[in-house]
Structure 1
Amino acid sequence: MNRGDESMSQDINATTETEFRFVTVAQRKVLSQEESENNAETSVSFSRQFAKKFFSERISTIWLIILCLIVLIAVFGGAIYGYDPNRINSELQNQVPSLSHLFGTDRLGRDIFVRAAAGVRVSFMVAIVSTALSIVFGTIYGVTMAFIGGKTDAIMLRIIEIFNSIPSLLITMILMAILGNGVITMLFALAVTSWAGAARQTRGLVKQLKNLDYVTAAKMLNTPLWKITLKHFVPNMMSILILDIGRSIPDNIFAEASLSFLGLGLQPPNTSLGILISVGQEQMLQHPYQLYIPIVILILLVLAFNIVGDGIRDALDPRYSV
């Protein structure tokens, strides 16, 4: 073969490789686009399936509506009526429920409806923030002990067992008695007593996930643990975390009310459901509505969160079908 033929053959081969490379890049783009579309369709399909499962249960739907109504009243109730929850009016002492005072007034002439709305807001804030703190700390604790393993895992597991063996309300009362009353102290106390469950569940899941191929590849690339946690562990634990949140919020609402009722939680002039129940107890015989109204609100809140949480758990369970 002469030099002209060799040169022509090389040009043909180069052109073929270029076309093949262009086709491969184009195919990769098409495959990437198809994969992203499939992921989007899968996400939409999962969301629709979750909504269909959840709203197919009439009880969960009804209690979700009740929970939303309580939240709306707590947020906008005080603004609608325009009363100051702490304003004392001696001329309106112990008024029975009416259109002007929907839940009546207490012994100091304060509107109970507005105070209940403010109390629900405070209880929500305490429960949600303390739940967030406990879930974040429990997740970090569980990931650390499962990822390191060995003696560290055993020691950290013993600490969890110690916390689980002591009644959480007792620990909270001791912390509140030592550190004093206040919102920050209560947040800390409730978070300290509710992180162990999330840590134990996180540990079990991470032990299953840490030996998967993509996690092993990330470790070989010296990816920091916090990146592995956010990218690989948390998405696979999301359903469990949601269930933990749904369980922890009503528990913390009830714990806050119990502490405030016992005088170890928030103190006047602050208001919460526990404070309203404590104040209403003093008027239980003469004006029982001042006690029963905050008790009913507390019961409705706890029931709503528990039933909605059960509905979310069933909707996330792949074994459950409509």
Structure 2
Amino acid sequence: MFEILPADEKVQNEIVRPSISYWQDAWRRLKKNKLAIVSLIFIIIITIMAIAVPAMSKFDYRTNNLDISNQLPSAEHWFGTDHLGRDMFVRVMFGARYSLIIAFVASLLNFIIGILYGGISGYVGGTTDNLMMRVVDILYSIPMMIYVIIIMSIIGAGLFSIIIALAISYWLSMARIVRGEVLQLKQQEFVLAAKVLGASNWRILLRHLIPNCIGPIIVTLTLLIPQAIFTESFLSFIGLGLSAPRASWGTLASDAMQGLYVFPYQLLFPSLAICFTILAFNLLGDGLRDSLDPRMRR
């Protein structure tokens, strides 16, 4: 009544491809995007240089030396010197430190506030959702420049003022995206199963809903960082940023405008740093969007 199963049929149901997690699969697809990987490497390098160069260089970012003012790029001063004789390479790297700090801290605050606000709004729904979204609409209608002026008039200009202004206005997009994802996910069966098992609303939101929409959250966060860098540079360029002798890319560009036609290199290098960094974050964000979205699998 029984036959011995052939050897080739015994292995038909074996899993040939090793099992990989969601993040392993996303990293495998991200590595195929050469532009995204190059952008990631560039971001890592500029971050390391922003930390190491000002600390290790023999030139100080704030020490004036009028004997070597406005020198062209050379072997000793790679980016030349400014009108006060300060090394431009060190100052550009030091400016990267403040620009990236402002961008990352503002994005972290945006990450926390936006996720919690949008998650609560989408999960509770009803009247609470409508009221919370109307608050978002009202905040959206106020230009960020108003926030900056009000905050600076209260606590003064500086690094903290810019971070608070960005944190107040930049979490709105994140809240809307998280709300939309939670509205879709809360109708799924796994949420109903968690409720049946007695899970609290906070546990369902923090342990089940938000982790399942982490892909769009990371992509949005990556794309908001270059916006924060550009906004900080713009605010510093018009004089609402850091005060001397501290500098960001925006303040370096603003200082270089005084001698634009005579010493254009002083504007060229901070401008290129802004452009390349923003481009790298945008390309990385596009790569993360393609790799974290299962629908993009080919």
| Range of TM-score over shorter length | 0.7 to 0.9
* 2:229 is the counterpart of 1:253: yes
Q: What corresponds to 1:180 in structure 2?
A: 156
| Contact in 2 for aligned 1:177/1:264 (Cα 8 Å) | no
Unaligned runs of 5+ in 2: 1-17
Aligned with 1:136 (options 101, 109, 112): 112
Cα deviation, residue 157, structure 1: 1.1
The answer for the alignment partner of 2:9 in structure 1 is: none
In structure 2, relative to structure 1, the CA distance for the partners of 1:181 and 1:226 (3 Å cut) is: farther
1:58 equivalent to 2:24? Answer no
User: What is the TM-score normalised by the length of structure 1?
Assistant: 0.80
Q: 2:49 is matched with which residue?
A: 73
Match of 1:42 among 17, 20, 25: 20
Distance 1:274 1:203 in 2: 34
Asked if 2 retains the 8 angstrom alpha-carbon contact of 1:135 and 1:195, the reply is: yes
Which of 285, 292, 296 in structure 2 is aligned with 1:316? 292
Letter in 1 for 2:281: F
Q: Does 1:94 align with 2:70?
A: yes
- Aligned positions, number: 281
What letter is aligned with 2:237?
Answer: F
Q: Give the structure, 1 or 2, with the largest relative contact order (CA under 8 Å, sep 6 or more).
A: 2
Matched, 1:228 2:200: no
Match runs of 1:173-212 below 5 Å: 173-177=149-153, 179-212=155-188
2:132 to 138, 156, 174: 156
Cα distance, 1:47–1:206 mapped onto 2, change above 3 Å = closer
- The one-letter amino acid paired with 2:252 is L
- Residue identity in the other structure for 1:81: S
Normalising by structure 2, what TM-score? 0.87
Residues of 2 paired with 1:238 and 1:169: CA distance? 30
Whole-angstrom CA distance in 1 between matches of 2:69 and 2:202: 57
Q: Which has the higher helix share?
A: 1
CA contact (8 A) 1:145 1:152 kept: yes
Which one of 290, 294, 298 corresponds to residue 266 of structure 2? 290
Distance 1:170 1:311, change over 3 A: farther
Whole-angstrom CA distance in 2 between matches of 1:127 and 1:64: 16
CA shift in 2, pair 1:304/1:82, >3 Å: same
1:304 is matched with which residue?
280
CA deviations on 1:124-162 (whole Å, 9 max, x unpaired) are 110111111012111111122122222111111112222
Between the aligned partners of 1:321 and 1:214, the Cα distance in structure 2 is: 24
Does structure 1 conserve the Cα–Cα contact (< 8 Å) formed by 2:139 and 2:169?
A: yes
In the other structure, the counterpart of 2:101 is 125
Is residue 93–residue 107 contact of structure 1 (8 Å, CA) maintained in 2?
yes
What are the superposed Cα offsets for residues 4-42 of structure 1, whole Å, 9 maximum, x if unpaired? xxxxxxxxxxxxxxxxxxxxxxxxxxxxxxxxxxxx943
Of the structure 1 ranges 99-108 and 220-229, higher mean CA displacement relative to structure 2 is found in: 220-229
Aligned to 1:21: none
CA distance in 2, matches of 1:47, 1:133: 24
Does 2:92 align with 1:116?
A: yes
CA RMSD, Structure 1 to Structure 2 (Å): 2.1
Identity %: 38
Q: Which amino acid letter does the alignment assign opposite residue 156 of structure 1?
A: M
